[in-house]
Chains A and B, each alone.
Chain A
Amino acid sequence: MVHATFIAPFVEFEFMRRALVGVLALALSAAPVGIFLMLRRMSLTGDAMAHAILPGVAVGYLVAGFSISAMTLGGLVAGLVVAVLAGLVARVTALKEDATLAAFYLLSLALGVILVSVRGSNVDLLHVLFGNVLAIDDSALVLLAGIATVTLTTLALIFRPLVLDTVDAGFLASVSRSGGVAHIVFLGLVVVNLVGAFQALGTLLGVGIMILPAVSARFWSSDINVMLPVALLFAITGALCGLLVSYHADVTTGPAIILCLGAITLVSLLVGRAGGLVWKLVPRRHLEA
């Protein structure tokens, strides 16, 4: 029973093994990025950015048909352009980053949908919007592994300025000029991870594997050093669960992964030790000090 449910799908089918490796690599890089998105109050920024990569994906599709590499490259370029423009506009003008991004992503999304609809079918559009993790090939796996490597290395490099820029930006500005650079590099990491996630989960759901584990982890710890591994554990569990549910129930994989991650968030929200609802409702004796 256990073997048939949890092991057999991966032993028997190569596409399931590829999907497993792909989502594990994605979880490894997306979860820590999601923690910082949430702590920097940029959860919806991630969502906006996910929409922003669509025109690039569409241009890749128009140029080379349904080629994962061309669409990935297009998405990467579009996402980075929007991220850097939005970051710069927010830093040098009075406009806040959320408003800047909203303006840019709406334009991008509209442009992307028109570009896809000019040549593609509705099936293609659905594929771009919601991904297909079971179609991950060798080049996609290499890309996801590369994204995970780059993300974790870069996050280690900008960890201190990223934390300090969030907690006390005034102090960081007084000791270092790295706050602005860290912010732009971080936006770049968000884009790179969204592009990776687009292959597995599509442009619309890709941000889910970043934000949902981060939100869940917030209910289990108040220390960022603990939240990071907890979010990683949740991302891996949710991805694995989603793959298995998709296989056994014969439902679309991307949404299945997101629903599994959502279920973890729901449980965390209810019983998480750091602010879960149940602990607020259950009367407990106060402490000595």
Chain B
Amino acid sequence: MAVGALRFRDLTLGYDRHPAVHHLDGAVAAGALLAVVGPNGAGKSTLLKGIAGTLLPLGGTIDRDGLDPRRIAYLPQVADLDRSFPVTVYDLVAMGLWRRSGLLGSIGRRDREQIEHAIAAVGLTGFEVRTIGSLSGGQLQRVLFARLILQDASIILLDEPFTAIDAKTTADLLAIVHRWHGEKRTIVAVLHDLDVVRSHFSETLLIARKPVAWGRTADVLTAENLFKARRMIEAPDPHAVACEHAA
């Protein structure tokens, strides 16, 4: 496997023994631009958490080709952020240097230049001292993309990066995603807008807890596959018995 490649072997991820992703097999090639789509509760965000290493599998494995999951760049859903916390744009972006600076490392002149460059790359020069609570949804998403730029990772995970932001911001952020793709980074993005997926993502995984289809976007996003995915029952069954397949 090349750097940035991922392989799932009979992967099951979930909460309290209830699977959110059930028996997933497959591989993501290094440098892939993969969209993960599916209805609410399909396990899309859970899959990203599994890849990022913040959620351990209930069964099966995720092979990251020896890459430490902490070297993967992960964009959580913006709704998970506490926007009332009094932290500035500059400080939040600087957290992207965590791998280098860690708990106590100083931010040197070169680091400061990189932070300023990342903020400029997302079009937020002049916003450095603004607190995140004063930003619009689109501006905050740009801040989080600047943090991803600083992480300089070979695998980038995006959880609903274009939700509730305007067309201009979406286009600007998509341009950054394409630039990363051009740099042969692996990108896995959870998306809801199927038009964006069809226009910008070559490969798609359609998931409804279990994988429904995985391959070229045009082959995956068919009416039949989407109908199959929609039939998924959202709530986990409280009376479910132990999975035979896992035994």
Give A contacts to B, CB under 8 Å: 39, 94, 156-158, 160-161, 163-164, 166-171, 173-176, 178, 218, 221-224, 227
In this complex, what residue of B is CB-closest to A171?
B76
Question: Are A167 and B81 interface neighbours, CB within 8 A?
Answer: yes
Out of B16, B70, B98, B131, name the residue touching A223 (CB < 8 Å).
B131
Contact of B86 with A39 in the complex, beta carbons under 8 Å: yes
Besides the known contacts A167-B81, A175-B70, 9 further A-B residue pairs in the complex with CB atoms under 8 A apart: A167-B132, A168-B82, A168-B95, A170-B80, A173-B52, A175-B99, A176-B70, A222-B131, A222-B134
Q: Using Cβ atoms and an 8 Å threshold, which residues of chain B touch A166?
A: 82, 85
For the complex, what is the distance from the CA of A168 to the CA of B134, rounded to whole Å? Answer: 16
A39-B85 CB under 8 A given contacts A176-B70, A176-B98, A222-B131: yes
Q: List 28 A-B contacts (CB under 8 A).
A: A39-B86, A157-B103, A157-B104, A158-B103, A163-B85, A166-B82, A167-B92, A168-B80, A168-B81, A168-B92, A168-B95, A170-B80, A171-B74, A171-B76, A173-B52, A174-B52, A174-B53, A174-B74, A174-B76, A175-B74, A176-B70, A218-B86, A222-B134, A223-B87, A223-B88, A223-B129, A224-B85, A224-B86
Residue-wise interface mask of B (212-223) relative to A, using a CB-CB cutoff of 8 A (1 in contact, 0 not)? 000000000000
Contact of B133 with A by CB under 8 A: yes
Contacting residues, chain B, for A176 (C-beta < 8 A):
70, 98, 102
* B-to-A contact residues, CB < 8 Å: 16, 49, 52-54, 69-70, 72, 74-77, 80-82, 85-88, 91-92, 95, 98-99, 102-104, 129, 131-134, 147, 151
Name which residue of chain B comes closest to A159, CB basis: B103
The answer to whether A224 touches B70 (Cβ under 8 A) is no
Question: Closest approach, in angstroms, between the C-beta of B18 and any C-beta of chain A?
Answer: 13
Cα separation A218 to B84 with both chains bound (whole Å): 11
Residue of B nearest to A41 (CB): B82
B86 touches A222 (CB 8 A): yes
Q: Which residues of B are found within 8 Å of A221, using beta-carbon distances?
A: 86
Closest to B78 in A: A168
Name the A residues within 8 Å of B77 (CB-CB).
170
Alpha-carbon gap, A160 to B95, bound state (A):
8
